[in-house]
Amino acid sequence: MRTTGYIVALFVCLVFLECASCYNILVIFSHLVKSRYYVFRPLFQELAERGHNLTIISHISTKKDIKNVRDVLLSTRETRHLLDVKFIGGRRQRYFEPKMLSDSARMICESSLKAEPFQSFLREEHNYHLALVDLFNTNCFFGLVNKLKIPYIALSPCAMMPWQSGWFGTPSNPSYIPSVFLAPPVPMTFLQRLENTLIHLAHIAWYKIYMENPGTELSRKYVGYDPVDPYNASLFLVNIHHTFQGSRPLSPSVVEIGGLHVFDRKPEKLPKDVEEWIDGATNGLIYFSMGSVLKGHTFPRDKLEIFNKVFAELPYRVLWKWESDDLPGKPDNVKTIKWAQQFDILCQPNTKLFISHGGLLGTTESVYCGVPVLAMPQFGDQPLNAQALKQQGAAVILDLKDVTYDRLKEAITESFKSKIQQNAKELSARFRDRLVSPLDTSVYWVEHVARYRGAPHLKSAAVDMPFYQKIKPNKKKVKKH
């Protein structure tokens, strides 16, 4: 009996010890685009596997993917296809990218905040240890963090926005750090540095006036609290890595986790017809996709005819993600599919080129699989992703508005040159060569911040300094005698 009592006591102690290291974590993903959530899905899955309890406020049902999770659905609207391929890049568009973000925030915030599932959640009593929040184009949900009085970690599925660096004491010098939206090549000329600086400052002001201020008002109205101060974030997990996007100074509270959604992932079996099409591409396969937000079948008709004509003359097979039933004028060496297992296709040995819009998820997958990209960036961070890949020697950039028969054929020919193909393989090797995987890195820091109640030791002193105190004065050189 005494032995049995000891065993029971030991079991109870082990249960309590395990529970002591389990945290209640609140996740806030308010943006409609599913791809932003998919970047961090492996992190949420792993946290749940380790026994942590997650509540996810989003537009996406996660119960099939994650255990120990509670969904608070803000809506059930379909978000896979949002835009047509009809406004194609251009410098003026890049200047006004933040306007599209502020318009999106205005559309999302009020309808989501007053949704009954969220309002019902607000009326409940909660005990959370930590919040993980998608930091992007609005702070309208961040009053919830203030209400719960918990530390929070910011998440970014893309490169840092111009207005975010200062919140973490990280330098954002526009003389050598390109704007997310403008994406000039590095190093920049004087005029490029001037333009980059002006755009950088203008976009910070736009965020303050048209995103932060309206978000604050909505948070007060629907949550009853001001948004938590972005300067009080404990940590920032960013979907970048210096091997791909280039080196820049980062404070300890900014952690690179680029490749989180693909790292150590194994390609899965493809549908039989797709597998046979790729296996039969003995000269190489071109995979063509404009992502999950842009509709491939909304291509301008004149550009579509050019692509069909060029593809018909190539010795390669083409696999084209095309959402409608018919592709007008489709050549015999082109196969269309409405939905694609993109990562699995890119990692096939016969896949030699990815024609893409330059979205970060697909671009990261191409880097991981070692496939060059012919990038046709449309909006957002796509020009920056394309430019970063080009500077690594693993991409060719072609604006869709500038596509002609000769330019397209030249760009594809350039992409198949052995130098670019080899550069893509070398970039893949560097990208994969990590001391710790991005998933293990992310989990470690989430638990670290929870364990040390917000981890204030990670905060840079620069966060609390006004900008004029951080300016380094020029020192006169002292002549040596």
Please spell the DSSP secondary structure of 216-249, one letter per residue: HHHHHHHTSSPPPPGGG-SEEEES--HHHH----
Residue 281 placed within a domain = yes
Residue 5 placed within a domain = no
Distance CA 481, CA 477 (A): 13
8, 159, 176, 189 from 386: Cα distances, Å: 60, 12, 17, 19
CB hemisphere CA count around 447 (13 angstroms): 18
- Residues 6 or more apart in contact with residue 285 via CB below 8 angstroms: 277, 278, 316, 317, 318, 319, 348, 350, 351, 352, 353
- Asked whether residue 60 falls in the same domain as residue 149, the answer is yes
Overall average pLDDT of the 228-233 stretch: 94
Task: Compute, in degrees rounded to 10, the torsion defined by CA atoms 286, 387, 419, 249.
Answer: -130
Q: CA 440 from chain center: how many Å?
A: 18
Overall average pLDDT of the 169-184 stretch: 91
pLDDT tier, 63 (very low <50, low <70, confident <90, very high otherwise): confident
pLDDT digits (tens, 9 = 90+) for 375-415: 999 888 999 999 999 999 999 999 988 899 999 999 999 99
How many domains in the chain?
A: 2
Residue 7 placed within a domain = no
Residue 172 placed within a domain = yes
CA-based nearest residue to 411, from 333, 329, 342, 355: 355
Q: 38 lies in which domain range?
A: 22-262+438-467
Residue 37 placed within a domain = yes
Overall average pLDDT of the 422-427 stretch: 98
- Predicted confidence at residue 18, as pLDDT, reads 47
Q: Which of 8-22, 342-356, 374-388 has the highest mean pLDDT?
A: 342-356
- Asked whether residue 395 falls in the same domain as residue 443, the answer is no
pLDDT tier, 474 (very low <50, low <70, confident <90, very high otherwise): low
- Asked whether residue 289 falls in the same domain as residue 424, the answer is yes
Distance CA 68, CA 71 (A): 10
Residue 8 has pLDDT above 50, yes or no: no
Amino acid in the structure at residue 348:
Q
- Asked whether residue 117 falls in the same domain as residue 250, the answer is yes
pLDDT digits (tens, 9 = 90+) for 15-49: 444 445 799 999 999 988 888 999 999 999 999 99
Ramachandran angles phi, psi of 131, nearest 5°: -120, 145
Residues of the chain with pLDDT > 90, as a percent, come to 75
Distance CA 140, CA 219 (A): 5
Residue 432 has pLDDT above 80, yes or no: yes
Instruction: At 144, list the tokens.
Output: 């919830």
- Asked whether residue 45 falls in the same domain as residue 148, the answer is yes
pLDDT digits (tens, 9 = 90+) for 128-159: 999 999 999 999 999 999 999 999 999 999 99
First to last CA, the chain: 90
Residue 479 placed within a domain = no
Residue 470 has pLDDT above 70, yes or no: no
Residue 481 has pLDDT above 70, yes or no: no
pLDDT digits (tens, 9 = 90+) for 243-291: 999 999 999 999 999 999 999 999 999 999 999 999 999 999 999 998 8
CATH of the domain at 44: 3.40.50.2000
R_g (Cα) of the chain, nearest Å:
24
85, 294, 308 from 323: Cα distances, Å: 13, 10, 16
- Asked whether residue 140 falls in the same domain as residue 288, the answer is no
pLDDT tier, 11 (very low <50, low <70, confident <90, very high otherwise): very low
Is 286 exposed, middle or buried, given 0-12, 13-18 or 19+ CB atoms closer than 10 A? buried
Residue 344 placed within a domain = yes
- Predicted confidence at residue 262, as pLDDT, reads 96
- Asked whether residue 99 falls in the same domain as residue 140, the answer is yes
Residue 323 has pLDDT above 90, yes or no: no
